[in-house]
């Protein structure tokens, strides 16, 4: 059997970002302002600072206004909620993203609930989760929507395909299952209590692995010819050859290459899609706020 096709998430994301930039320029000409994304970072978490910086640069490249609010770790809940309410009312802000995790003592669910659902471009608000579950227009979390885009680009129509989503988080697993169901796939959500997980996975035409356990899904779990979307990104302990450790997904990539029909690499697969879809959601929010139809092709 030939090696699996490597699904180029970075290439797809680059193309999506170029289309977003063109659409953002057209929006600015029509609306007299750029789409705006406000990102709130509380505390000094190193990884979060990197992510926020990357999001700011991506906004600028796409012609989206970036409003960064960096608050000390000592920020109280009341102060944070006042800022969110101000952003909810700000007509220049179309999307609001509060970078997680928050420092200890701040209630993440209460903070997310304070964001206007129509500015919740992360798609984490319970109202947007409810909209997704009943098929209404809302915002979908960026990573699963990016996964769906990659699947449709590679496979086209997903109707009738059997899909297994490994992981049941609110951020990836549950919305991913809903998106696949809406695309007319037959979906199983697998998790830590699933009996005979390898056998469940072997049934799947589509496997989405989102458990955060390095190389948990082995090559012999994969149905020959299946399409594998690896959401995981895990850093292995450092070695003499790799003093910073090696990045791997939730799937044993080298093993799966010889069995799957197509697979996303780590890095370079799902990861680049997340920020691209965040920009896409912000652009869609801007069009909705301006009473305009969102552009096609994004």
Stated length of the chain = 298
Q: Which residues contact 47 (CB under 8 A, 6 or more apart)?
A: none
HSE on the CB side for 159, CA within 13 Å?
1
Which of these, 13, 8, 1, lies nearest to 265 by C-alpha position? Answer: 8
- For the question of residue 122 being annotated catalytic, the response is yes
61: Cβ contacts below 8 Å, ≥ 6 apart: 17, 21
CB atoms within 10 A of CB 296: 7
Strands 206-209 and 227-230: parallel
14 is catalytic: no
Burial of 209 by CB count in 10 Å (0-12 exposed, 13-18 middle, 19+ buried)?
buried
Q: Is 10 a catalytic residue?
A: no
Q: Which of 284, 278, 291 is nearest to 54 (CA)?
A: 278
For residue 271, what are its two tokens? Answer: 């990861």
Active-site option among 99, 178, 205, 223? 99
Catalytic pick among 55, 119, 174, 223: 55
CA-to-CA distance for 277 and 144, rounded, in angstroms? Answer: 10
- The set of residues, in sequence order, having a beta carbon less than 8 Å from that of 295 and lying 6+ positions away, is 19, 23, 26, 283, 287
Catalytic position from the list 8, 94, 120, 122: 122
- Quick one: tokens of 264? 């996303």
Please state the φ and ψ torsions of residue 70, each to the nearest 5 degrees: -105, 115
Residues catalogued as catalytic: 55, 99, 122
């Amino acid at each position: 059997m030939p090696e699996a096709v490597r699904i180029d998430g970075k290439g797809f994301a680059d193309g999506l970002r170029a289309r977003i930039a063109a659409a953002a320029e057209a929006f600015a000409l029509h609306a007299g302002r750029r789409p705006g994304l406000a990102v709130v970072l509380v505390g000094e978490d190193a990884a979060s600072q990197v992510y926020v910086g990357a999001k700011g640069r991506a906004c600028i490249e796409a012609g989206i206004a970036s409003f960064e609010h960096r608050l000390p770790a000592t920020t109280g809940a009341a102060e944070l909620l006042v800022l969110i309410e101000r952003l909810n009312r700000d007509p220049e802000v179309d999307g609001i993203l509060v970078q997680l995790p928050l420092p200890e003592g701040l209630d993440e669910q209460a903070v997310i609930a304070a964001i206007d659902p129509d500015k919740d471009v992360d798609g984490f608000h319970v109202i947007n989760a409810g909209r997704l579950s009943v098929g209404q227009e809302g915002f979908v979390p960026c990573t699963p929507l990016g996964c769906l885009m990659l699947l449709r680009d590679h496979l086209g129509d997903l109707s009738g395909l059997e899909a297994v989503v490994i992981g049941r988080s609110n951020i990836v697993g549950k919305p991913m299952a809903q998106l696949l169901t809406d695309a007319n796939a037959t979906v199983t959500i697998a998790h830590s209590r699933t009996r005979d997980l390898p056998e469940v996975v072997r049934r799947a035409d589509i496997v989405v692995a989102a458990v955060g356990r390095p190389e948990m899904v082995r090559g012999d779990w994969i149905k020959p010819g299946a399409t594998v979307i690896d959401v995981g990104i895990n850093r292995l302990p450092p070695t003499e050859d790799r003093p910073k450790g090696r990045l791997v997904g939730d799937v044993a990539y080298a093993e799966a290459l010889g069995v799957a029909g197509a697979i996303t690499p780590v890095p370079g697969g799902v990861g680049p899609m997340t920020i691209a879809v965040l920009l896409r959601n912000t652009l869609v929010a801007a069009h909705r706020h301006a009473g305009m139809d969102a552009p096609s092709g994004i």
